[in-house]
Amino acid sequence: MEYETEQQKKRFYKSKEWQLLRREVLERDNYECQECKRNGRVYTDNHDPDKHKRLDIDHIKEIEDHPELALEIDNLEVLCVKCHNKKHNRFKFKKKENRWSEDERW
Ligand SMILES: [Zn+2]
Q: H or E element: which one contains 55?
A: strand 55-59
CA of 40 to the centre of ligand 1 (A): 10
CA of 41 to the centre of ligand 1 (A): 8
Across 18-27, b (16+ Cβ under 10 Å) vs e yields beebbeebbe
CA of 97 to the centre of ligand 1 (A): 25
**pLDDT > 70: percent of the chain:** 74
CA of 83 to the centre of ligand 1 (A): 4
pTM: 0.73
CA of 56 to the centre of ligand 1 (A): 10
Alpha carbon of residue 40 to chain centroid: 19
Q: How far apart are CA 4 and CA 13, in angstroms?
A: 13
- Model confidence at 14: pLDDT above 70: yes
Nearest C-alpha neighbor of 31 from the set 6, 59, 14, 50: 50
25-53 pLDDT, tens digit each: 999 999 999 999 999 977 666 555 554 45
Which residues does 77 contact at the CB level (< 8 Å), separation at least 6? 25, 29, 34, 57, 58, 60
In angstroms, the first-to-last Cα distance of the chain is 51
